[in-house]
Every structure is written in structure tokens, then in C-alpha cells.
Amino acid sequence: MASNARSRRAARRRTSGHRLFAFDRALGVRFVAGADEAGRGCLAGPLVAAAVLFDYEALTTRELRSLSALNDSKQHDHDAREELYPRVLAAARRVVVISRCVRGIDERGLHVTNIAALRTALIRVAEPGALCLIDGFAVPEFEHRQRPIIDGDATSAAIAAASIIAKVTRDRLMAALDTEDPRYGWARNKGYGTPQHLSALSQFGPTPHHRRSFAPVHNILYGGNLEDSTITL
């Protein structure tokens, strides 16, 4: 029974990309761009936004087959995301990655920083006439056609591809930061507020890579109950 369940899950992963590409094709335009971000809820590290543009008149059968397992990055483990990353780069017409530092997040706020990063990534990736898809919400003051897609990273191939690029890029950045200061376990927790990360934060205090506008970090610096703190978004 367990073996059958694993086989069914593996089969769904192998065909998820076909469903996502079919959604984008049904939009009836040649160029479809998708954007997503990684690291919104992290206590440490940058926010990374990515945008991916697919040209549906140029995509080959081989490229589509290579991305048959494409899905929301959260549906894949580390190895699967790393495998999909170069395949997205090979199939996409254009890929843009935007990284926003901790200082900018603290000064401007997470939401403003996130919107600006997604807008910049989409502007740089979009062709004239492209339809731009964003996971969950519309981007204000945007010059191209756009459409917000609820659960977009599990619906649209372009958004799912962007989620893979953003997640892999950010995970690699956090692994590099971990080699500089391994006390916080960033290679494992990627900057999220895991019990191990919170314990190290309490013991060693914040680093320049921690977001001081987020409550757990703010409370370490200025007092407060770490256990009762919440992340300010």
C-alpha cells in the first residue's frame, strides 16, 4: 500500500508540469511571464524575487518534457529543485532575479520591498505584449498586462518556474552565509524562525544579516518575550 501511494505521488510529480503549462497556453498569448519570491517570512537573509518569461511559440517538446515535474517549489525537496533549476534556465526566454537586502527590508518594510522587487523583476523580463502573472495579488503602477493568480505557483508554469529560481537562489545565498557564521544553522533553516535558530538568536544575538524589524529579532535587541513574539509583515 505504501509503495503504491509513493508511486502515485511520483506519477503526479512527473505530470504536474503538463498541467501548469496547459494553464499558461490557455491564456492565448505568446509570451507569459511569472513572478514569485522566496524568504518573506525569514528572520535573516535577503528577500529574493524572480521572474521567468516563456515564449510559447518557441518552447520545444524536449524542453516541455524536461519540465514535466515542474511545480510550486514547496512541493519539491532540495535535490528536485536543484534539478529543475537549470532546466528552467534552458527553457525560458528570459530569467531575472532580484535580491533585496536586510537593511532595505527594515527601512522600507517587507510588503513594500516585496512588491517593488516583483515589479522590477517583471519589468526586466517582459516582452511587449506579454501577460504577467503574479502569485496571489496584482502589482500596482505596472505598465504591462497582468493577472493575479491565487495559488499561482501551483497553477501557472511561469509562476512555478519563478518560484524554483527564487527558492534555489536564496537557499544558495543562505548556505554561503552559513559558511561565514555557522552558529545559526542557516544552511538548514534558511533563516526561518526554527527552534534551533531562535535558540541561537537568544544565545548569540542578532547578526547584520538579521531583520531587525521582525519581532523575534527586535525583542532580542530591545527587550520582550521571545516566545510570545510574532513576525511583523
Dist CA 160 CA 40 (whole Å)? 17
CATH code: domain 2-180 is 3.30.420.10
Q: What is the pLDDT of residue 15?
A: 77
pLDDT tens, position by position, 103-152: 999 999 999 999 999 999 999 999 999 999 998 889 998 989 999 999 99
pTM above 0.75, yes or no: yes
pLDDT tens, position by position, 176-186: 999 999 999 99
Instruction: Residue count of the chain, please give it.
Output: 233
pLDDT tens, position by position, 68-103: 999 999 999 999 999 999 999 999 999 999 999 999
Q: What is the pLDDT of residue 222?
A: 83
Residue 128 or 228, more confident: 128
The most distant pair of C-alpha atoms in the chain lies apart, rounded to whole Å, by 58
Q: Judge residue 63's burial from the number of C-beta atoms within 10 Å of its C-beta, 0-12 exposed, 13-18 middle, 19 or more buried.
A: middle
Could you state, in order of their start, the residue ranges of all structural domains in the chain?
A: 2-180
